[in-house]
Amino acid sequence: MKFSISLLIGLSLLNFSSASTITRPKAHVPYYSRDAEPTCITPGIVPNITGSQIRNVGVILFQALDMIDVFGPLDPLQILSLTVQQLNLHLIAETLEPVSTAPLAMNKFNSSFFPTIPPTNTFNDDLDLDLLIVPGGPGARNPNLQAVTDYIAKMYPKVKMLMTICTGAGVAARSGVLDEHLATTNKNAWATMKEMGPRVNWVSPARYVIDGKVWSSSGVTSGLDLIFAFIGTFWGAEQSERIASIIEHVPRVATDDPFSKHFNITPTDAQPCP
C-alpha cells in the first residue's frame, strides 16, 4: 500500500537553539596516483550572493526517484528555514498526481514498499526559483523523461544554482545544461551516466563538484556533503557545522571519494583546478 511522506523529518527530536560543533576532517589526500598530471579545468565562478538572497527551492520529482536524493539535502535546509531565515519549498512534477518511488519495471518479489510524494507544483507553473535540485534514482534511466529535461533546460537560465544529486546528473545532462561543465555522479552508474552526457567534463574521483552555478554530487548520501558545502558557502561555516552537528553528520570534503576506487573507475583527465 502506498503512503505519503511528511516533510517534517523528526523535528521534535532536535534542539535547534544550540548544538556543539564537531571536529571536521582535514583536507583529504586523494588515494589514487597518476603517471601524468590531469587536465586542470578552472571551475566557473560561484554566484556572488549570500544566503539571504536564496529563498525559493525547487525539487524535481519523477517516478522511481531515490528518497535520500530528495530528503537528504532538504533536511538541513529545513532546519535552516526554521532557525535562520525564511525558505520556500516547491516539489515540482509533470502533474499534481502523487509521485511514487516504485520502480518502473523490476519488482520480482511483488513488494509494496514504495512511498509517494505529493507535488506542490507542475512544470507549467511560473516559479521564481533560486535553487533547483534534480534527484536521481532508478527512474533517471527512464528514456521517457522529456518533460523533465525540457523543464530543466527552461529553468536553468533563470535559477541562481542547479544542484544534481547522484544519477540526477545524468538527467540534467540529457537536457544539455551540463555541456562543458565539470560534474560528477554515482560511481556505480558511472558508465551509463557518462553516455547521457558525452559533452560533460565528468570528474572522478569526486565526492562532489562545484562549477559556478552547477553543483553536483556523487551517489545518494553524498548529497548531504554537497548541501553542507552549499550552506557553508552561502550562510557560513558556522551554520554548516551547527546543522551538521544537529543531525550528527560529519561532511566529507569534495575529494574524499573511496567509491571511485571501489567501482574501479579510472581517474578522469579532467579535474577542477585548485
CA distance 167 to 180: 18
Spell out the residues 6+ positions from residue 80 whose beta carbon is closer than 8 angstroms to its own. Answer: 51, 87, 231, 235, 239, 243
Query: H helices of 84-186, where?
Result: 146-155, 168-175
CA distance 40 to 30: 15
How much is the pLDDT for 38? Answer: 59
Q: 77, 83, 54: which is closest to 7 by C-alpha? A: 77
CA distance 236 to 153: 30
Q: 210, 130, 198: which is closest to 170 by C-alpha? A: 198
Residue 230's H or E segment, with its range, is helix 222-235
How much is the pLDDT for 106? Answer: 79
How much is the pLDDT for 37? Answer: 59
Predicted confidence (pLDDT) per residue in 20-71, tens digit: 333 333 333 332 333 445 579 999 999 999 999 999 999 999 999 999 999 9
Spell out the residues 6+ positions from residue 62 whose beta carbon is closer than 8 angstroms to its own. Answer: 93, 94, 99, 139, 142, 145, 148, 171
CA distance 202 to 241: 29
All structural domains of the chain: 54-101+114-272 (3.40.50.880)
Cα distances (Å, whole numbers) of residue 227 to 40, 147, 215: 25, 26, 9
Question: Under DSSP, is residue 118 helix (H, G, I), strand (E, B) or coil?
Answer: coil
CA distance 240 to 92: 26
Backbone phi, then psi, for 165, in 5-degree steps?
Answer: -115, 130
How much is the pLDDT for 274? Answer: 84
Residues of the chain with pLDDT under 50: 1-36
Q: 259, 233, 85: which is closest to 160 by C-alpha? A: 233
